[in-house]
Structure 1
Amino acid sequence: MGKTALGVNLAINACKYFLTKKNTKDNVVPSVGFFSLEMSSQQISTRILSIESEINSSALFNGKIDEQDVDKLKTVQDEIQKVEFFYR
């Protein structure tokens, strides 16, 4: 696992943790920021989708996915939209 993959994993897991522990009084979910000098935002997005959907990132980059993978990606996208994760 590379440096960026490790960082993305940590950031996403922190987001998931914060989502489960959100302040019920104020309904506040803390935000997590991620900054990479080595990867573009599109590459980071693809990496997140790959990690969370357990689909090989090269298959995503090349568009070699089947309908089952598309369904996984839709589910992952819905889950990711619930967290406060910002990256650049």
Structure 2
Amino acid sequence: MPGAQARLAGFLAKSPPEVRRTAKAALAAMRRHMPGASGNQVRHIRLVPDVSVLDEPAVRALIAQAIATSDVPLNPKQRRKMVIRSVSAKQRPRRPRSK
């Protein structure tokens, strides 16, 4: 079985180019905003019109609040670990919603 990074690349390869770009940019932005975070706690933010939403003051305030109220302090030197928990054997094609 391939590693998590290879599996993520495989998932993204099934998506349209704009989805791949957004996903990669969002991961990079969250790693920059929350170094050492494990991703155990997840929140949902729509990245419309693009990933720059993560740099808006209101979103940055939510991220700061999440860090401040966390039970476990972030360790920026902690090595990142990606875990892909479940993959459906039968997957629908990845395509953008029609407008």
Give TM-score, length-normalised by structure 2. 0.28
- Higher relative strand content: 1
Question: Which structure: larger Rg?
Answer: 2
Give TM-score, length-normalised by structure 1. 0.30
